[in-house]
């Protein structure tokens, strides 16, 4: 198809008008497009005109030896030796391909593709702007000079768990680093910073801060890695990560569960000692910030930031930062689960003191029940605690309470034994009739009653009398007075035992008062020492 000059100029004007309308309403005008229009507007360069017309008609432009020919026409012959005409032809050919996407589908533009290309070009320009390929970022900034200062600030998001068995805690925090790398400085008219994600972090130098005594740690990666890099025009850098770390906390359970634990999270550079890198808190004590943290078993008294030095024999001194926090345990949970049940078991063991001493099944079953319950409580508490080699406060309370329960069982064993000896002695002395049947006396209510047996009082020590009956009335008062005075002053152990055996009910009477007072005294001393 051959066109004359008038038709070509008319087509060119239509193309220009359509281009201007699209550019004004939809997209900004590209610099290359403006240059192409300037080339098209030159009447002496037929090669450019032919190129544009060919693009509109959908026919390719052929280049052979610096010439651009339109198929089927004799146009497009540049001046020989005119290098400028050849350059115009090449630029026109590039403009043809850029314009082709706009007009090959009736003037519609693939804006999505253009945006993708612009984003890709922007990323490339950002890396070029920071001159990443021009420097060796395996070396720290200012290598060979003084140590580079790296400021740190931390915002604690949460304390996820505290384990007494493993002696550790889990914390989620935002860790921010501040330093200056002049190799990343870039010119900026409005002094605005540029923000990047983790993809650029892998191409530059960042501090190698790690957590001392950490067991596990990871950087969150939902939905992308939680890493932010912000570069300022003067080379200052902010590097922030969101990390969860499980670290060791050396706990002292001597006062458990009335204890207060002091835990710390320690930060340190792994490779750079104090001669290469200086870690410090960015804003002093204000560098450590916390959200409102609520724990189930602990109350956080306060957070504190501190710093120090750590020495390694093979590598030297390193700067170390500390995040110290004090945890005070809530006692109410252990009062409900441990202390109150223990107190009830001890008080329940005292009920046997009011049960008749001859009701053997009732008192034995009650004593064994309280002993087994105390054993279960002690086992449950021990299973939830670390196997430490020292005595804890809860152990003192539980084992002392267990001792009170155990002594109540032993008390009944003593009462029963004394009662048996007393009855055997009375039977030998004839105080109990031979026809008396002990099983019949217990047939109705399961216990003996002192009213059922006729017990006559008898003297514990019979006075030694002379053989002369005439002198006995005059000597007896003096002898009784002398013997009575001697017994009140001195009483042997055997006589005391005989007194208890003959009056076994007194053991229960004394226990009713001695056990509660002793346990009350123990609680007073215990809570005054540990609370």
Summarize the confidence of residues 352-373 as an average pLDDT: 91
The more confident residue out of 281 and 29 is: 281
Q: What is the pLDDT of residue 62?
A: 44
Tens-place pLDDT, residues 225-266: 999 999 999 999 999 999 999 999 999 999 999 999 999 999
The more confident residue out of 27 and 1 is: 1
Q: What is the pLDDT of residue 132?
A: 80
For the structural domain made of 126-329, what CATH number should be given?
Answer: 2.70.170.10
Which pLDDT band, with edges at 50, 70 and 90, does 411 fall under? very high
Q: Which range has the worst mean pLDDT, 284-293, 385-394, 431-440? A: 431-440
- Both tokens of 247, joined, read 């670290």
Which pLDDT band, with edges at 50, 70 and 90, does 441 fall under? very low
Q: What is the pLDDT of residue 2?
A: 62
The more confident residue out of 33 and 524 is: 524
Q: What is the pLDDT of residue 24?
A: 53
Checking if the pLDDT of 196 tops 70, the result is yes
Q: What is the pLDDT of residue 105?
A: 41
DSSP codes, 26-41: TSPPPHHHHHHHHHHT
Q: What is the pLDDT of residue 503?
A: 72
Asked whether the whole model's pTM tops 0.95, one would answer: no
C-alpha distance from residue 274 to each of 228, 311, 312 (Å) = 26, 10, 12
DSSP H or E stretch at residue 345: helix 340-349
Q: Which range has the worst mean pLDDT, 2-6, 49-53, 180-184, 211-215? A: 49-53
In a 13 Å sphere around the CA of 131, the CA atoms on its Cβ side amount to: 12
> Long-range contacts of range 392-397, CB-CB < 8 Å, 24 or more positions apart?
392/253, 392/254, 392/255, 392/256, 393/254, 393/255, 393/256, 393/257, 393/258, 393/259, 393/526, 393/530, 394/256, 394/257, 394/334, 394/338, 396/526, 397/339, 397/342, 397/526
Q: Which range has the worst mean pLDDT, 13-17, 87-91, 304-308? A: 87-91
Q: Where are the domains of the chain?
A: 126-329, 333-424
Q: Which range has the worst mean pLDDT, 207-216, 364-373, 481-490? A: 481-490
DSSP codes, 224-262: S--EEEEE-TTSEEEEEEEEEEEEE-----TTTTS-EEE
The more confident residue out of 134 and 342 is: 342
Tens-place pLDDT, residues 205-229: 999 999 999 999 999 998 899 999 9
The more confident residue out of 249 and 451 is: 249
Q: What is the pLDDT of residue 13?
A: 78
Tens-place pLDDT, residues 157-174: 999 999 988 999 999 999
Q: What is the pLDDT of residue 470?
A: 40
Checking if the pLDDT of 339 tops 50, the result is yes
Mean pLDDT of the chain, nearest integer: 76
Angle at 310 between CA 309 and CA 315, to 5 degrees: 120
Summarize the confidence of residues 6-24 as an average pLDDT: 70
**Rounded percentage of the chain residues whose pLDDT exceeds 90:** 44
Checking if the pLDDT of 483 tops 90, the result is no
The more confident residue out of 509 and 427 is: 509
C-alpha distance from residue 477 to each of 357, 452, 465, 480, 489 (Å) = 39, 36, 11, 5, 19
Q: What is the pLDDT of residue 467?
A: 42
Which pLDDT band, with edges at 50, 70 and 90, does 37 fall under? low
Checking if the pLDDT of 179 tops 50, the result is yes
Superfamily of domain 333-424: Neurotransmitter-gated ion-channel transmembrane domain (1.20.58.390)
Checking if the pLDDT of 74 tops 80, the result is no
The more confident residue out of 34 and 287 is: 287
Which residues have a Cβ under 8 Å from the Cβ of 412 and sit 6 or more positions away?
A: 352, 357, 363, 364, 367
Checking if the pLDDT of 282 tops 80, the result is yes
Which pLDDT band, with edges at 50, 70 and 90, does 93 fall under? low
Cβ atoms of 521 and 432 closer than 8 Å: no
**Rounded percentage of the chain residues whose pLDDT exceeds 70:** 65
Checking if the pLDDT of 484 tops 70, the result is no
Summarize the confidence of residues 65-77 as an average pLDDT: 44
Which pLDDT band, with edges at 50, 70 and 90, does 181 fall under? very high
Checking if the pLDDT of 312 tops 90, the result is yes
Tens-place pLDDT, residues 262-278: 999 999 999 999 999 99
Checking if the pLDDT of 488 tops 60, the result is no
Tens-place pLDDT, residues 114-154: 444 444 444 446 677 777 877 788 889 988 889 999 999 99
**Alpha carbon distance 431, 499 (integer Å):** 17
């Amino acid at each position: 198809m051959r066109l004359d000059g008038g038709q070509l100029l008319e087509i060119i004007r239509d193309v220009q008008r359509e281009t201007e309308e699209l550019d004004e309403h939809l997209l900004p005008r590209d610099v290359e497009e403006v240059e192409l229009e300037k080339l098209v507007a030159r009447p002496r360069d037929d090669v450019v005109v032919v190129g544009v017309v060919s693009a509109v008609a959908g026919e390719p432009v052929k280049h052979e030896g610096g010439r651009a020919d339109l198929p089927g026409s004799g146009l497009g012959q540049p001046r020989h030796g005119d290098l400028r005409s050849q350059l115009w032809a090449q630029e026109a050919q590039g403009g043809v391909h850029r314009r082709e996407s706009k007009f090959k589908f009736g003037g519609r533009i693939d804006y999505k593709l253009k945006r993708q290309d612009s984003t890709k070009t922007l990323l490339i320009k950002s890396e070029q702007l920071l001159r990443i390929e021009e420097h060796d970022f395996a070396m720290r900034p200012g290598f060979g000079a003084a140590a580079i200062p790296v400021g740190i600030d931390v915002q604690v998001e949460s304390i996820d768990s505290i384990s007494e068995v493993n002696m550790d805690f889990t914390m989620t925090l935002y860790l921010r680093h501040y330093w200056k790398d002049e190799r990343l400085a870039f010119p900026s008219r409005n002094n605005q910073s540029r923000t990047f994600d983790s993809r650029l972090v892998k191409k530059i130098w960042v501090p190698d801060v790690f957590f001392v005594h950490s067991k596990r740690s990871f950087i969150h990666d939902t939905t992308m890695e939680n890493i932010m890099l912000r570069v300022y025009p003067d080379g200052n850098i902010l590097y922030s990560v969101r990390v969860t770390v499980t670290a060791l906390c050396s706990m002292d359970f001597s006062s458990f569960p009335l204890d207060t634990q002091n835990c710390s999270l320690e930060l340190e550079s792994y490779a750079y000692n104090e001669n290469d890198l200086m870690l410090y808190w960015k804003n002093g004590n204000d560098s450590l910030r916390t959200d409102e943290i609520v724990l189930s078993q602990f109350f956080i008294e306060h957070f504190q930031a501190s710093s120090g030095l750590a020495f390694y024999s093979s590598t030297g001194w390193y700067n170390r930062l500390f995040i110290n926090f004090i945890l005070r345990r809530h006692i109410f949970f252990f009062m409900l689960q441990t202390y109150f049940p223990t107190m009830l078991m001890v008080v329940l063991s005292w009920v046997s003191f009011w049960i008749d001493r001859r009701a053997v099944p009732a008192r034995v079953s009650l004593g064994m029940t309280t002993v087994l319950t105390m054993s279960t409580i002690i086992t449950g508490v021990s299973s939830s605690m670390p196997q430490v080699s020292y005595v804890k406060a809860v152990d003192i309370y539980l084992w002392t309470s267990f001792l009170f329960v155990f002594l109540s069982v032993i008390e009944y064993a003593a009462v029963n034994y004394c009662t048996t000896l007393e009855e055997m002695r009375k039977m030998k002395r004839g105080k109990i009739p031979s026809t008396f049947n002990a099983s019949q006396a217990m047939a109705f209510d399961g216990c003996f009653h002192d009213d059922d047996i006729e017990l006559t009082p008898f003297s514990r020590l019979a006075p030694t009398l002379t053989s002369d009956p005439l002198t006995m009335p005059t000597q007896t008062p003096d002898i009784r007075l002398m013997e009575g005075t001697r017994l009140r002053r001195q009483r042997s152990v055997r006589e005391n035992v005989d007194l208890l055996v003959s009056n076994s009910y007194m053991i229960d009477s004394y226990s009713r008062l001695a056990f509660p007072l002793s346990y009350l005294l123990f609680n007073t001393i215990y809570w005054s020492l540990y609370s």
